[in-house]
Amino acid sequence: MKKVIKFAAITIIVGLMSYILISCKDSNSKVPEIETSPISDLTQTSVTSGGFVLDDCGSPVYRRGVCWSTNTNPTTSDNLTEDGSGTGNFISSITELSYNTTYYIRAYAINNNGIGYGNCITFTTGIVDIDGNVYKTKIFEWGNAGECFIENLKTTKLNDGTEIQFITDDVSWANTTEPAYCIYNNDSINNSDYGLLYNWAAVETGKLCPEGWHIPSFEEFDEMLSPHDLVYKCGGQRLENGIFIDLGKEGCWWTTTEISDAYAKGINVSCDNSDRGGIIIGNKKSGFSVRCVRVASPY
């Protein structure tokens, strides 16, 4: 009986050792496991990312970094950084990117068994506001040559860091005399699609646009921005009494041209008639979209 037990114990031990050996062998045949870090510090021509090597799978990681391309699923045959070796976290800084360009980036790690890749992240270089929102722009060459946003502004702060009050209810919107913004119908999805709506008090601060940019006068707006740049982002408006109207049908954009204590000029574009933009006499308590421009672009 004792011999049987002893034999069984030896069998279990041998079996366990065989399992460990097989497991290690399988592990040694694997490429590293790695995750791509979220992007940060995005500018017009640079970005920060990195990765986290979760497991070297039994073979030391001797090179790691990120690779990027304008095509999906970049590899180490594309652009890459080299950020040390081993497991754990690392940071990658990427510079000299093209302006107004969409890129794909993912982390990589290499051991003797091959290359492991992390998840793919996409980003677009462009102008960044104080909230970190990135905007595509276009260069124009007529009139005073310069550059303009082709997306509506989304910032919730002035460019000096001052918070702009966010107003949802109609009565408060109608009564405020302070800089304010809102989201159409108070639905956050409309912010990503159409940007925010601002009252004139926010425009009047001169600090809504990123540093070096400004809201155009009526003459500048008419010269720089084609109705075709506006019509696909017709974010509607908020009337002076707080009511929202015309999302996806019509858009209104503030200019800095003042008419009186109560009114200022805006541009109005309808999806049904995008060949030209019309003048709108906007009550300063209204909520309109905003675009930013600058002359003499460095790009």
Residues 57 and 166 in one domain: no
The residue with tokens 């912010």 is: 191
Residues 288 and 148 in one domain: yes
Count, residues in the chain: 299
Task: Please check whether residue 12 lies inside any domain of the structure.
Answer: no
The residue out of 86, 102, 124 marking a domain boundary is 124
Bridge partners, residue 166, by sequence = 181
Residues 217 and 168 in one domain: yes
pLDDT of 270: 83
pLDDT of 15: 43
CA separation, residue 218 to residues 26, 255, 258, 259 (Å) = 69, 5, 9, 11
Contacts of 292 (CB under 8 A, 6+ apart): 127, 135, 148, 149, 153, 208, 209, 210, 213, 214, 215
Task: Please check whether residue 273 lies inside any domain of the structure.
Answer: yes
pLDDT below 70 — which residues of the chain? 1-29, 140-145, 190, 226-229, 231-232, 273-277, 296-299
Residues 138 and 274 in one domain: yes
Residues 143 and 238 in one domain: yes
Q: Are the C-beta atoms of 110 and 61 separated by less than 8 Å? A: yes
Task: Please check whether residue 134 lies inside any domain of the structure.
Answer: yes
Residues 262 and 211 in one domain: yes
Residues 172 and 238 in one domain: yes
d(CA 255, CA 235): 16
Task: Please check whether residue 1 lies inside any domain of the structure.
Answer: no
pLDDT of 22: 37
Task: Please check whether residue 17 lies inside any domain of the structure.
Answer: no
The residue out of 106, 124, 142 marking a domain boundary is 124
Residues 273 and 185 in one domain: yes
The residue with tokens 């919730």 is: 156
pLDDT of 141: 55
Residues 146 and 83 in one domain: no
Bridge partners, residue 66, by sequence = 107
pLDDT of 126: 83
Count the helix, strand and coil residues of the chain and give each as a percent rounded to the nearest 5.
Answer: 20, 35, 40
Residues 113 and 55 in one domain: yes
d(CA 37, CA 49): 6
**Residue ranges making up the domain that contains 248:** 130-295
Residues 98 and 200 in one domain: no
Task: Please check whether residue 9 lies inside any domain of the structure.
Answer: no
The tokens for 142 are: 């007529």
Residues 196 and 284 in one domain: yes
pLDDT tens readout for residues 72-117: 999 999 999 999 999 999 999 999 999 888 899 999 999 999 999 9
Tell me the one-letter amino acid at 241.
N
User: Domain holding 82: CATH number?
Assistant: 2.60.40.10
Task: Please check whether residue 276 lies inside any domain of the structure.
Answer: yes
The residue out of 124, 140, 165 marking a domain boundary is 124
Q: How many domains does the chain have?
A: 2
Q: Are the C-beta atoms of 45 and 125 separated by less than 8 Å? A: yes
Task: Please check whether residue 137 lies inside any domain of the structure.
Answer: yes
Q: Are the C-beta atoms of 198 and 288 separated by less than 8 Å? A: yes
pLDDT of 109: 98
The Cβ-side half-sphere exposure at 217, using a 13 Å CA radius, reads 6
pLDDT tens readout for residues 192-214: 778 999 999 999 999 999 988 99
